[in-house]
Amino acid sequence: MLALTGEVALDDESLDDLMYGIDELKTARPDYDQAEAYYDGKVPEVFSSTRIRRALAARDIDFDLNFAKTPVNAVTNRLKIASVTSPDDDVNTLISKIWQDNQLNLEMPDLFRRAGEYGDAYLFVLPVEDEAGEVIRVDMFYNSPRTVRVIYSEDNPRRKAYTIKKWCEGKYHRAELLYDDRIERWTTRENSDGDQPTDWLHWPAEDDDAESWLIEHDWGEQPVFHFRTDRPYGVPEHYGAYGPQNAITKLQATHMGTVDYQGAPQRYALTETATTDTSDLEPGDFDDFPADDAGAGPTDSGDDSSLKAGPGELWLLRGFKGVGQFDAAKPDVFLDPIQFNVRAMAQITDTPLRMFDPQSNQRSGESYREEDGPFISKVENRQTSYGASLHEAFVFALRRFGIVDPVVNVDWVPAKSVTDAQGWQTVKAKIDAGVPRRQALMEAGYRAEQVDAWLAGVDDAELQRRTTILASLADSAQKLGAATALGVVTSEQAQQLLNGALSDMELLAEAQAQA
């Protein structure tokens, strides 16, 4: 139960923990800010000339191609929780209540994305009590690693020594230290930056209770759960994309700078050494674009060109022996390196190239599976790590409701599953070779409970028939896709053919079930 007390006195250790935690937050903050900037595509071109940088900044021009967010989104999109359950029906009811109260179907995807973006994310789990001290609900919510940090024990890196949360509130800095047996509340003096120990004071939760800055509890653990891509602290999923993204940003900005020269080439005029009289030229003779009301730029005179293009027009230029124009850089000079850097980004971050460019090529399902191997392994590692943290969070929440030793199972939608003809043919070949049918289907990427439901009351002959039908259907779908691409049939016709085949299969299955 949560209680307010003043029995624990302030000691040097608490203040040392506070200052050490603040220093850890301050040290880690730049890396988190950098990770956010690359995910949001807000990193400027760092190698541009001063002149170009000023020109782009003055007109608030942004030509960025943000590929760096793709490695984060690719992993996040594969992290889908199938279920959080318990063998006990009463516990299942509580789990459903916690899930609904906190809208975890919305909270979890955001938490996973933030964990991928920063490398770290924190889930707070705080019980809410009524006036009688009974827990009526448990609040679960995300906190940013820019304001929260778990400090791990030096002698046991898996044990949380304590957690610090620090934020700014108007003219004050606030902080909380969360321990296994208490929560301490701290605040700075007005307009203090909080860099010195003397800047910090106790922060009572109730104005009329000076000791309410200290909240004791009997939870035996901290109500903070760390979701991370590595240990002890994570690395952003797109960390390896920083370098290629810098190159892409520079190439794209420079490429856009040459577009003006392709639309309006820079020109030149050559004169003879002894003939340099250009007095007959008007100020706007070589000005292709008249100035608008607001002025087009520092070099525009505002005069229309006297050289008119059209049938029967005569251009008379005195004093020049020749004119010409400078060719702009070819687009391939920029686009080819951009493609190279995208491929490098895919390789470095273990992200399939087609996730950066879905139209890159058309290949077989087997080649996709080979390419996806490192990526699928990464997703499965995240499921293991995040699943352990989510399991701890639900166990903690259920204990607050009085469940002494709750059993909780966290199941994920498989990171991969067989959907193509070659894949189902492989499953069929495994079963034909003697691999247990349950094992073959689980290796195809389906959850154990799904497989058990499918196999309930199904003998080997029926399974063989279903596998053969699925393989044939997948093969037909693949061939229809190729026919559609070649224009042999329309996409609507292909869809009608597949729908008809599926309907026939359903009618056949119903007839066999009734027989």
72 and 99 together in one domain: yes
399 and 464 together in one domain: no
Residue 121 covered by a domain:
yes
505 and 469 together in one domain: yes
Residue 252 covered by a domain:
yes
372 and 347 together in one domain: yes
pLDDT digits (tens, 9 = 90+) for 115-146: 999 999 999 999 999 988 899 999 999 999 99
329 and 390 together in one domain: yes
45 and 100 together in one domain: yes
Per DSSP, the three-state class of 41 is coil
Show the low-confidence residues of the chain (pLDDT under 70).
1-12, 45-63, 257, 259-264, 268, 273-317, 358-369, 417-425, 442-451, 454, 457-471, 501-515
pLDDT the model gives residue 75: 96
17 and 160 together in one domain: yes
Domain final residue, candidates 393, 416, 439: 416
CA distance 168 to 343: 42
Tell the burial category of 43 from Cβ atoms under 10 Å away from its Cβ (0-12, 13-18, 19+). Answer: middle
State the total domains in the chain: 2
Closest CA to 85 of 442, 448, 377: 448
Joined together, the tokens standing for residue 59 give: 């007109």
Scanning the structure block, which residue is given the tokens 């042999």?
488
**Inter-CA distances, 430 with 78, 125, 140, 439, 440, Å:** 26, 45, 44, 9, 7
454 and 344 together in one domain: no
Joined together, the tokens standing for residue 134 give: 């009974």
Size (the chain), residues: 515
* 161 φ/ψ angles, rounded to the nearest 5 degrees: -70, -50
CA distance 270 to 283: 18
Residue 311 covered by a domain:
no
Domain final residue, candidates 384, 416, 448: 416
Residue 120 covered by a domain:
yes
pLDDT the model gives residue 302: 46
506 and 427 together in one domain: yes
Residue 504 covered by a domain:
yes
pLDDT digits (tens, 9 = 90+) for 390-432: 999 999 999 999 999 999 999 888 887 665 566 666 777 777 7
394 and 502 together in one domain: no
368 and 503 together in one domain: no
Residue 440 covered by a domain:
yes
Domain final residue, candidates 391, 416, 441: 416
Residue 316 covered by a domain:
no
366 and 437 together in one domain: no
Range of the domain at 491: 421-515
Partners of 126 in the β-ladder: 139
